[in-house]
Amino acid sequence: MIAIITVVHLLIVLALIATVLLQRSEGGALGIGGGGGGGGGGMFTSRGAGNALTRTTAILAVCFFVTSLSLAYLSRGNSSGSSILDQVAPSQTQGEQSGNGGGSVLPTLPGAPPASTEPAVPTE
């Protein structure tokens, strides 16, 4: 289910990028239909194309938010309610209990000598 929504989400993202790039920066749009100022109230005059691209952008934006929220909700269901911070906290306390020295969060390599608590710089 997540794979299908992810593919749909990526297609929506590509379509949203294309529709945003097709719009003119001065508020008009695409300009199809005789230079943008021709007579008639057809669909693809400058105003009609602008309205179509604006509506398309709005619809794609709503679809983008819906798929984003649904992916977030579905991925939350797979993680059994735990957080990354919950997974990190036990390893820090375990390192401190194993005699790791100065409270380092790095694990001790097997067969390595224990870390000394003395400073590495000579103090003479």
**pLDDT at residue 111, rounded to an integer:** 67
Could you read off the pLDDT of 34-91 as tens digits, one per residue? 454 444 555 566 666 678 888 999 999 999 999 999 999 988 776 565 666 666 655 4
DSSP codes, 18-80: HHHHHB-TTS-B---SSTT--SS--TTSHHHHHHHHHHHHHHHHHHHHHHHHHHHHHHHHHTT
| pLDDT at 2 > cutoff 60 | yes
**pLDDT at residue 113, rounded to an integer:** 64
Could you read off the pLDDT of 56-65 as tens digits, one per residue? 999 999 999 9
**pLDDT at residue 30, rounded to an integer:** 53
pTM, entire model: 0.50
